[in-house]
Structures are given as C-alpha cells and as structure tokens.
Structure 1
Amino acid sequence: MDSILVTGNGPLNGQIPIAGAKNACLTLMPATLLSEEPLTLTNAPRLSDIKTMTALLQSLGAEVSSLQDGQVLAMSSHDLTSQTADYEIVRKMRASNLVLGPLLARFGQAVVSLPGGCAIGARPMDLHVEGLEALGAEIELKDGYLHANAPGGLKGAVHEMRFASVGATENIVMAATLAKGTTVLKNAAREPEIVDLVECLRKMGAQISGEGTSTIEIQGVDRLHGATHQVVTDRIELGTYMLAPAMCGGEVELLGGRMALVESFAAKLDAAGVQVEETPKGLKVARKNGRVNAVDVVTEPFPGFPTDLQAQMMALMCTAEGTSVLEERIFENRFMHAPELVRMGANIEVHGGTATVTGVERLKGAPVMATDLRASVSLILAGMAAEGETTVSRVYHLDRGYEHVVRKLEGVGAKIERIKGQ
C-alpha cells in the first residue's frame, strides 16, 4: 500500500492549477442518462471516483470515452441495456446513487443499491426517496436495493426537503426535468455544484430557475438533447491548496480559483491573518505575519464553511496563536484525523461534534494514517509545516479526490514524494 513522505521545507512559492470539481463531475455524469443524445464534459478531473462512475454508467449500457488525457468525457446513453445499479459498483462511492432520479425519469423504473450498505434513515438517502415519491414514484426497499417505479411517469409537485441535502437536491432536480408539469423544490441545497448541474441541464433543454437559492423551480419537458459543458472549478481542492502557504509561509497563486466559490472559507483565512486576493488567473494567497491567529469554525451547508475543508482547517489551527473551536454540524465521525494530528504534537480535545484546538509553535513529523479523503490531505499539509519527516499511510483515499497532489505541491517547493507499497 502506497504512502506519502513529507519533509518540512519552509515557504512555498509559485502556481498550482486547480482541477474541475469532483463532486460536480460525479453529478453531471449521470445526467447523460436523461437523453439519447451525447453529453460531453470538459475540464473533468482525473480521479478514481470518476472511473467508478464511468464503470457504473457502462454497466447500464452507456458509452463513456475518456479523451485528452482524461480531461474530456464523451458519453452517450442512446442504447441502455439495464436500469439496475449493482451493489458491487455502488458500494465504492456514495455518489453512485445519483443514477436513481435520471433512470426513473426516463424509463419509469430503476433498481439502485443503497450506497455502502447504508440504510434509509441513516445518512440522507431517505431524502432522495421522499422527494422522488413526491413526484409520484413508488419506491420499495428489498434486499439492500431501492426498487423504484413510476408506471404513469413522474408528475410535478411542490416538495420541501427536511434538510438541504446536496445529493437529494441533485437527484430530484434531474428527475423533475422529464416530469409532467411543474416541480417546486423548497429548502434546496445551494452549492456551486448544483448551479453547475442546472447550467448543464439547461444546455440540454431543461427549463429550470432558482438554482443557487433555496427554491428551485423545474418545468418538465418531453425530452432532453445533447450538450457540451465545462465542469466548474473544484472549490474543495482550491480551499485545500489555499491552506498550503497559510501553513508554510510564502505566496501561491491558485490558477482557475474564484472567490465566489470560497467566500466563507476565505473570510476565515482573513480573520486568521492570511491574505487572499483575486488575480486575472485565479486567487493569490499569502500569510501576512508570523503565526496565524486562532479562529472558530462551524461547518454549514453552502454558503457556510464547507465540511470538506474542516480537516484541513484543523491542521492550520494546530499551529495558530490561541485556542480555536471547530464544530462539525454536517457529518458525524468527522474528527478521525484529530488523533493523528495529536501524534504530530497537536493539542486537540474532541467532545462529540466539537474539537478544541490549542495552537502549538511547531508540529513534529511522525508516522500517521489517513482515515478518509480529506483527512489524508490534512495530514500532508500538517507534515509540510512540521519539523522533520512525516509518513502518511493509507493514501489510496487521496486518489479519490486530488489529482497529481505530489506533482502540484512539488511545483511550489514542497518536499514530498509518493512511496510505492510492496
């Protein structure tokens, strides 16, 4: 199993190109199921999760070609052979459940495994089901699979979600594009990835308004056509690399970055003593003076502070001046990186969904283990700012969400290498 060796090496300087958004691309890919005509995505990230979604679409009979070194995905669902998303593929990635709405809308039926063995009511798959049932679907859970039918087709409805779930919003919006009549989705998620999905669906002929707000209105159409769409910049990768100069010093420009994608995050960096400014090419980040200041963080749905940047922000707070409190309100068990940071000399106390971090002057390199995707990169950032060597094991998580992480960080002066497993 591969690991990553990081040695603290001082300030960083240069440019890092930011890839297309993983979470946006994973949502856009199932949109091909809504039409017989081709859908082409540009600026696609080159990640293992994209390969998993490709395998899932191909298992349904879709054609998916990876072009231009993986940055262009050419897809066609003109001749699908199945409406069943098998557990062996779905279990690898939660976003696989996003084929449910499109299949149901176009074919009136779908059989989709619960992702990762999750039960309805445990993580918000129940919100997907409630929304699709509001559109007239009949959904039954049997043997770990959702069996969905809409014999007379889906019908527009007014539906208010109990929680602003990103995935449920995406599934319901896609399903409603081919429903008869008008759907009004209230308490919808507002993330940039949803805005990106709607822009793509509109290019395919969908009639949608209100994206980026908490109420989205969809007027169903008889069919959707093909389109070409550029995947939006990955705001989580952007935020992650914004933290590199914040932790190590120096000045780094993030190519393709936009302030609108990370406003709440950038505001916290500013309060901590990190300068963020827009440039013609992206965002430039530099630490203002000495150690950063401790700031409190509460994770919230967009436009609040992203849960997917909480682990990386904790790494920054480990060497901040003062004590910070990080409260996780989106996902449970999202502080598994804290014990690994403690191994590096951090002072962290976790109580339920709250972590209290008292900054130390310098972290010390140590062998640590990644527990998930964002934890992986938080430990790499910590290692870059630590004294001595840090070995991060179980980095296969990293390949799901960050392309060429070693190359990108090496390019701005980090001392980092990937060690191949035996």
Structure 2
Amino acid sequence: MDRIRIKGGAELNGVIPISGAKNAALPLMTASLLTGETLELRNVPRLADVNLLLRILGNHGVDHTITGKRPGQTAETGQTIRLDASSVIDTCAPYELVSRMRASFWVIAPLIARFGEARVSMPGGCAIGTRPVDLLLKALETMGVQIDVDGGYVVAKAAKGLRGAEVRFPKVTVSGTHVALMAATLAEGTTVIENAAREPEVADLASCLTKMGAKIEGAGTSRIVIDGVARLHGATHSVMPDRIETGTYAMAVAMTGGDVVLENTRAEYLQSALEVLQQVGASVEGTKDGIRVHRNGSGLRPVDVTTDPFPGFPTDLQAQFMALMTKAEGTSRIRETIFENRFMHVQELARLGARIRLDGDAAIVEGVERLKGAPVMATDLRASVSLVIAALAAEGETDIHRVYHLDRGFEALEAKLGRCGAQIERISG
C-alpha cells in the first residue's frame, strides 16, 4: 500500500494549477443519465472517485470516452470525458459499487426522472458520520415517487412520471439539492426548492442542466425554481475549479511560509476561508489568473471558526485549518456543525506534537512552537490532507499511510507541491 513521505521545513514558492472540482464533477457526471444524447465534460480531475463513478455509470449502460492529452497539457490538466447514456440497460445500482462512494447514490434522481424506476443500494463509502439520505428520499416522495426499502436497497417508482412540487428542506443539504434539482428538470410542472444549498457546485450543476435544455432560476440562492421539460439534450460544459483544493493549498502556504499563485481558480468561491487566512496572518490577493497567497515569516495568529453551509466556512476545510492552527501563537476553537465524527484527524495530528482537546462539537487547539515528524495514518479524504499540511511544517520526516484517501480528491498532489519546493515523495508498497 502506498504512503507519502514528507521532509518538513521548506517554504512553498511558485505556481499551483487548481484542478476541476470533484464535488462538481460527480453530480455533473450523474446528470448524463438524464439524456440520451452525449454530455461532454471538460476539466474533469483525474481522481479515484471519478473513475469509480465511471464504473457505476457503465454498469447502467453509459458509454464513455476520454480524450487524449492536447499540446501544452500536463498531468494535472483536466481531462475531457464524453458520456453517452443512450442505451441504459439497467436501473439498478448495486451494493458493491454504491457502498464505496456516497455520491453514487445520486443516480437515483436521473434514473427515476427518465425511466420511472430505480433500485439503488443504500450508500456507504464515508467514515465521517451517518450522513443519512432521508432528506433526499423525502424530496423525491414530494414529487410523486413511491419509496420502499428492500434488502438494503431503495426501490423507487414513479409509473406516471414525476410531478412538480414544493420541496422544502428542514436543513441545508447539498446532496438533497442536487437530487431534487436533477429530478425536477424532467418533472411535469414547476418545482420550487426552498432552503436550497447555495454552494457553487449546485450552481455549476444548474448551469450544465440549463445548457442541456432545463429551465432553472435561482441556482446559487436558497430558492430554486425549475420548470420541467419533456426531454433534455446533450451539451458541453467545463467543470468549475476546486475551491476545496484552492483553500487547502492556500493553508499549506500559510503554514510553511512562501509565495504561491493558485492558478485557474476564483476567490469568490471561498471568500470566508480566505478572510480567515488573512486574520491568521497570510496575505491573500486576487490576480488575473487566480489567487496569490504569501506569508513572510511572521507568526500565525489563532482564529476561532465555525463550519457552516456556503457562504460560511466550509466543513471540507476544517481539518486543514486545524492543522494550520497547531502552530498558531495561542489557542483557537474550531466548531464543526455539519458532520458528526469529523475530528478523527485529531489523534494523528497529536502524533506530530499537536495539542488538541475535544469539547463536544468543538476542538480547542493550543498552538505549539514546533511539530515533529512521525508515522501517521489517514482516516478520510480531508483528514489525510491535513496531515500533509502539518508534515510540511514538521521537523524531520513524516510518513503518511493510507494515502488512497488522498487519491480520491487531490489530483497530482505530490507533483504540485514538489514543484513549489516541498520535499515530498510517494513510496509504493
């Protein structure tokens, strides 16, 4: 099993190109099931989760082609994938595939919308809490879907098709918004989604669906209105830049010092996190190509944060920020309000010398003068990259095990950091 070895202490200087967003690419790929014509997605990151979803879509009968590299492209230049769902042969998503990635459960929406039926395994593939799908299923029931659970599978039927409805989520849910949005595009009549997620990835999905012929207003706000259409057609769409990858590398620069331009990204996608970084002591400024982050060696100031749905501080940056705060000059408090059980990285950071104690849904981080390299183990995607950030600033060598978690969400991480001066290598076996 691969591991990553990092020798800490080097500043980061240079340019890091930001990949397409995993959290946007997955629902966009799922949306290919809504049409019998080809959906072409550009700037798709090369990630394990993308490959797994291609397998799941292929199980339904979706054909795909991936274009070769073009002049000037590098290993981390996004790939172009063409998805053809003209010959769907199976509306069942089996346990052995869905259990490995929660986002694969979203296929239930386009399958029920286009074919009137779906049989999808209850999801798995996540170690950060239960993350139930009840809100997704209630949204579909509101639109006329009959839901039963049989042997660990959700059996969904809408023999007469979906009908427009008012879907009011009791709490913000990105997954629920994705599902309701995809289903509503082919429903008869108008669907209104209240308390919808405002995340940029939701707006990116809506943009693609609109190119496919959907009629959508309000994406990116808490109220989305969809007028259903009889059919959707093919389209070409470029995946938005990954705001979580952007924030992760920005925090790595703040941790190590140095000066890095994050290319092909947009500050408005993570303004709250960038404002926190400025409070910490990093300099953040927009450029014509992206965002410049630098820190001239001054100490890190402790800052309290609470995770919230967009436009608040992202839960997917909580672990990375905790790693940053381990070297702050004082005590910070990090409160997690989105997912339970998302502090599993605490014990591994402690192995590097961090001082962190848990208090319910909060972690209190007492900054230390130095971290020291040690063998550590990744527990989930974001936790794994928090260990990378800590290791970059630790004295000596750190071996990070179970890095397959990293491969789920960070494209060419070693290459991107290595070109900016990090002493990082992947060790096989």
Q: Same fold (TM over 0.5)?
A: yes
Number of equivalent positions: 419
The whole-number CA distance in structure 2 between the counterparts of 1:234 and 1:68 is 22
TM-score, with structure 1 as normaliser: 0.98
2:74 aligned residue = none
How far does residue 352 in structure 1 lie from its aligned partner after superposition?
2.4
The whole-number CA distance in structure 2 between the counterparts of 1:257 and 1:33 is 28
Contact kept? 2:101, 2:125, Cα under 8 Å: no
How far does residue 195 in structure 1 lie from its aligned partner after superposition?
0.3
How far does residue 124 in structure 1 lie from its aligned partner after superposition?
3.1
Where 2:201 maps in the other structure, the secondary structure is helix
2:31 aligned residue = 31
Matches within 5 A, 1:88-167: 88-116=96-124, 122-167=130-175
Where 2:137 maps in the other structure, the secondary structure is helix
1:134-173: CA deviation from partner (whole Å, max 9, x where unpaired): 0000010110100000011000011201111101100110
Where 1:129 maps in the other structure, the secondary structure is helix
Contact kept? 1:273, 1:288, Cα under 8 Å: no
- Indicate whether 1:349 and 2:357 are aligned: yes
Contact kept? 2:100, 2:125, Cα under 8 Å: no
2:235 to 217, 224, 227: 227
Question: Which amino acid is the alignment partner of residue 5 of structure 1?
Answer: R
How far does residue 287 in structure 1 lie from its aligned partner after superposition?
1.6
How far does residue 9 in structure 1 lie from its aligned partner after superposition?
3.1
The whole-number CA distance in structure 2 between the counterparts of 1:141 and 1:333 is 26
The whole-number CA distance in structure 2 between the counterparts of 1:134 and 1:415 is 53
Question: Which amino acid is the alignment partner of residue 278 of structure 1?
Answer: G
1:184 aligned residue = 192
Contact kept? 1:273, 1:289, Cα under 8 Å: no
Contact kept? 1:157, 1:184, Cα under 8 Å: yes
The whole-number CA distance in structure 1 between the counterparts of 2:46 and 2:163 is 37
The whole-number CA distance in structure 1 between the counterparts of 2:10 and 2:125 is 44
How far does residue 351 in structure 1 lie from its aligned partner after superposition?
2.2
The whole-number CA distance in structure 1 between the counterparts of 2:191 and 2:8 is 53
- Indicate whether 1:319 and 2:327 are aligned: yes
The whole-number CA distance in structure 2 between the counterparts of 1:217 and 1:124 is 25
The whole-number CA distance in structure 1 between the counterparts of 2:105 and 2:414 is 31
1:9 aligned residue = 9
1:49-88: CA deviation from partner (whole Å, max 9, x where unpaired): 0011000000000111122357001001111101111111
How far does residue 8 in structure 1 lie from its aligned partner after superposition?
1.1
The whole-number CA distance in structure 2 between the counterparts of 1:366 and 1:165 is 37
Question: Which amino acid is the alignment partner of residue 44 of structure 2?
Answer: A
1:197 aligned residue = 205
More deviation in 280-289 or 296-305? 280-289
- Indicate whether 1:245 and 2:253 are aligned: yes
The whole-number CA distance in structure 2 between the counterparts of 1:117 and 1:267 is 32
Question: Which amino acid is the alignment partner of residue 269 of structure 2?
Answer: L
Contact kept? 2:102, 2:125, Cα under 8 Å: no
How far does residue 234 in structure 1 lie from its aligned partner after superposition?
0.4
2:346 to 323, 332, 338: 338
The whole-number CA distance in structure 1 between the counterparts of 2:106 and 2:83 is 16
2:72 aligned residue = none
Contact kept? 2:333, 2:362, Cα under 8 Å: yes
Where 2:36 maps in the other structure, the secondary structure is coil
1:415 aligned residue = 423
- Indicate whether 1:64 and 2:49 are aligned: no
**1:352/1:359 Cα in 2 relative to 1: closer, same or farther (>3 Å)?**
same
Contact kept? 1:117, 1:144, Cα under 8 Å: no
Name segments (4+ residues, structure 1) moved above 4 Å.
none
Question: Which amino acid is the alignment partner of residue 21 of structure 2?
Answer: A
2:409 aligned residue = 401
TM-score, with structure 2 as normaliser: 0.96
For structure 2, the 5+ residue unaligned runs are 70-77
Contact kept? 1:91, 1:116, Cα under 8 Å: yes
- Indicate whether 1:259 and 2:267 are aligned: yes
The whole-number CA distance in structure 2 between the counterparts of 1:285 and 1:261 is 15
Contact kept? 1:204, 1:224, Cα under 8 Å: yes
Contact kept? 2:282, 2:293, Cα under 8 Å: yes
Contact kept? 1:177, 1:218, Cα under 8 Å: yes
Contact kept? 1:7, 1:415, Cα under 8 Å: yes
Identity %: 55
The whole-number CA distance in structure 1 between the counterparts of 2:145 and 2:266 is 39
How far does residue 122 in structure 1 lie from its aligned partner after superposition?
4.5
1:280 to 283, 288, 292: 288
Contact kept? 1:297, 1:325, Cα under 8 Å: yes
The whole-number CA distance in structure 2 between the counterparts of 1:117 and 1:213 is 29
The whole-number CA distance in structure 2 between the counterparts of 1:88 and 1:211 is 33
Question: Which amino acid is the alignment partner of residue 39 of structure 2?
Answer: L
